Structure 1
Amino acid sequence: MSNLTKLALVILALTSSLSAATAMAQVQKISMGNGTIAAEITPDIGGRLLSFSLKDQPNFLLLADLASLNTRPQVSPSSDNIGYFGHEIWVGPQSEWWVHQKVNPERAAKKAVWPPDPYLILAQNTVLEQSQEKVILKSPESGVSGVQIIKAYALMPERKNSLKLQVRATNIRKENIAWDIWFNTRVPANAQVYVPVANAADVQQKNLEDATNAALVYTVSDGILSLDMIPPPAGKTARKGKLMIQPSSGWMASFYDKQVFIIQFPLQPKAAIHPEQGQVELYNDFNPAKLQEGLLEMEVHAPYKTLAPKEYMIGEETWTILEYKGAPTRNAHLAFLRAQAAQLGLK
């Protein structure tokens, strides 16, 4: 082989490597903002919300290092999950994710509960509308869930600190399907989160305790649940688990650094939510020594509904972000929320 040929091969290899790295890093980002808040959305990797914060403040959402991940995945019924994080949309209940489909018989037979529908979390979305004030995305039709999802993100002129999220899921099959719309928002593992509850009986814990993980710890007092960031006991390295919650009012809040993030949603009676889920769910993987490897998921389920062919259902959330200068304590956090209650419509 001549030196010239060897040089050409080296250049080709380097070019291919750089092209692959560029492909991983190139995620289309659509910016929204009004001078008070800022958000960033991508039609790629499932059409997800990448960031949300006060203007010029750190992203409140937990987002993976996209440059290190494949952001142009080949999407098929056999695709696995890729942990991009941010905010994405699933359907529920989880136990039925792979039961009502024929495109992956193996996962159907196993009644697989992971991964989520690849067409909803990995596939590129179509941009239907784009501006600083509003973005609308459309997912491909999914042969796994039998739905197509349209997501609309809109700034609220009457509330300068808020963003409205509306999701429409349409049945694309020729027979009835039954799902709920599942909002999943990832924030840092040690964010302090609060959910209004009537009593402790409205909270069910899904225990994921094992040799290295301890159970979650939470407090229910004065009508508010707080997830307590208490280090694991000796012999354990982390706390991991999930809380299934029937809230008493349609909101939850999370404090982190100098911002507070509030998610509002239409409160539903317990009967409207699939019995395997809670209207609010908190999943936490909290290792004090490796906070960057954990996460906290703030999840909301819309009502579980049966849809006829071409019928659709709608779910919505309102996101608000505010500055916080108080102490990092439960009492101070709740005092702040009470002070904002009337303006935001928190009960």
Structure 2
Amino acid sequence: MCSSPKFVIVLVLTGACALLSMTSSAGAVAPTAADAAAVERLQLNTEAVELSATPALGGRVLSFNVRGQPNVLKVGAAVEQQPTPEVSAIAGNIAYFGHDVWVGPQSQWWLHQELNHERKAAAAVWPPDPYLSLAQTRVTLRRHDALEFEGVPSPLTGVQLRKQIKLSATRADTVEIQASARNIRKQQIAWDLWFNTRVAATTRVFVPVAAVTDIRLQPPSEAGTIAPHYTLKRGVFALRADTRQDGLIQRGKVLLQPSAGWMAGFAGGQVLVIRFAHQPLAAIHPAQGQVELYLDAPPQHLEQGLLEMEMHAPYRQFAPGAQMQAQEQWTLLRYTGPDEEQAQRQFLCGKAKALALANACDVPPTHG
């Protein structure tokens, strides 16, 4: 598909925007009076799709949709209600959702810092680094076809993120999401880049997976919950929340070693196809999967639930001042077929050649 006219539009959200109370914690990045008014949205448009992102909240993608269709990303009310969070080593997580970038593995988030001894001693796995997820970023590039955000240096994980969102030069339905992490410390560090794209739990996600041994389930431990239900048929894994009559919350994470570098989410009349460089198992930290799907869905009203489509880049050691990069391509397509797994698989198979979706069509089962 040819490229099309593109525009950058600056929008300002108004509404209930309360400034959070502040504490004098170590290493805090304080919101200013100028920040208190609203969250700024920068929008990239083509004839086919619309995307909005904000330099606030770590530099975050807030919406992506086919023109005339709803946002396929899940975004929390906190975007308007808490637009200027305090950023410090004691800050918690705020459910802004959208698309965010972390570093992994999660088990090491709080181990390499001295600003929060309680979280370090507990080897806390939550919250993610507030300096990466909550801080105001600086807009370093604003063009008709691209945006770039420069994050703040994090004293917790020792990295500074830079994110670029760029319209594809060849497809009007595609954007490229790139992130880089620079080591700001004086010694070598080791992380991966972790892309996290949130959608509603009503989204059915497909991932190419060769064998059941490439699937690891992390079930929930809380009372009243049940692990996500998934299928693996002819080389393609599928997951979506189910409406339940037993009152159980569907919660848990599935870690996958994909057989090719893509995943796709069917959300009503749209299909979000995320493509990335496929990695061998040895390149991914053993505590993670190259693709991870996290589900948290109530038994009823699944549209209120959360599904995270996550991608891990290779786990690497990098020297002081060195950088590592990762990238995803997002393609958003219209879908007018039935909300059925087989029909959606056939749709992906029909797009396999144009989008280079290896193993999207039926493949023989693999054992072992």
Q: 2:113 aligns with which of 101, 112, 125?
A: 101
Q: 1:129 aligns with which of 129, 141, 153?
A: 141
Q: Distance in 2 between matches of 1:92 and 1:18?
A: 32
Q: 1:53 aligns with which of 53, 58, 65?
A: 65
Q: Distance in 2 between matches of 1:289 and 1:24?
A: 36
Q: CA deviation at 1:110?
A: 1.2
Q: Which residue of 1 aligns with 2:201?
A: 189
> Which runs of structure 2 are paired with 1:252-331 in the superposition (5 Å)?
252-331=263-342
Identity of aligned residues (%): 43
Write out per-residue CA displacement over residues 86-114 of structure 1, whole angstroms, 9 at most, x where no aligned residue: 00000000000000111212211111111
Number of residue pairs matched by the alignment: 330
Write out per-residue CA displacement over residues 146-165 of structure 1, whole angstroms, 9 at most, x where no aligned residue: 00011011001211110001
Q: 2:354 aligns with which of 325, 336, 343?
A: 343
Q: Distance in 2 between matches of 1:224 and 1:284?
A: 18
Q: Which residue of 1 aligns with 2:158?
A: 146
Q: Which residue of 1 aligns with 2:344?
A: 333
State TM-score, norm by structure 2: 0.86
- Look up the equivalent residue of 1:312 and give its one-letter code: Q
SS at match of 1:108: helix
Q: 1:178 aligns with which of 181, 190, 194?
A: 190
Could you list the structure 1 runs, at least 4 aligned residues long, displaced by more than 6 angstroms after superposition: 21-25
Structure 1 residues 101 and 209 mapped into 2: Cα distance closer, same or farther (>3 Å)? Answer: closer
Q: Report which stretch shifted further, 69-78 or 224-233.
A: 224-233
Q: 2:168 aligns with which of 136, 156, 163?
A: 156
Answer whether contact 1:197 1:224 (CA < 8 A) is retained.
yes
Structure 1 unpaired stretches of 5+ = 1-16
Q: Which residue of 1 aligns with 2:210?
A: 198
Q: CA deviation at 1:327?
A: 0.7
Answer whether contact 2:210 2:235 (CA < 8 A) is retained.
yes
SS at match of 1:160: coil
Q: CA deviation at 1:228?
A: 4.1
Answer whether contact 1:214 1:232 (CA < 8 A) is retained.
no
Structure 1 residues 330 and 71 mapped into 2: Cα distance closer, same or farther (>3 Å)? Answer: same
Write out per-residue CA displacement over residues 57-107 of structure 1, whole angstroms, 9 at most, x where no aligned residue: 110000012465311112111111111000000000000000011121221
SS at match of 1:120: helix
Decide which structure has greater helix share.
Answer: 1
RMSD: 1.7
Q: CA deviation at 1:19?
A: 6.9
Q: Which residue of 2 aligns with 1:43?
A: 55
- Look up the equivalent residue of 1:346 and give its one-letter code: L
Answer whether contact 1:91 1:179 (CA < 8 A) is retained.
yes
Q: Distance in 2 between matches of 1:85 and 1:52?
A: 13
Q: CA deviation at 1:18?
A: 7.9
State TM-score, norm by structure 1: 0.91
Q: Which residue of 2 aligns with 1:87?
A: 99
- Look up the equivalent residue of 1:145 and give its one-letter code: T
SS at match of 1:29: strand
SS at match of 1:327: coil
Answer whether contact 2:243 2:300 (CA < 8 A) is retained.
no
Write out per-residue CA displacement over residues 268-317 of structure 1, whole angstroms, 9 at most, x where no aligned residue: 00000000000000000122423344200000000000011001101110
Q: 1:31 aligns with which of 19, 43, 46?
A: 43
Q: Which residue of 1 aligns with 2:30?
A: none
Q: 1:74 aligns with which of 86, 91, 96?
A: 86
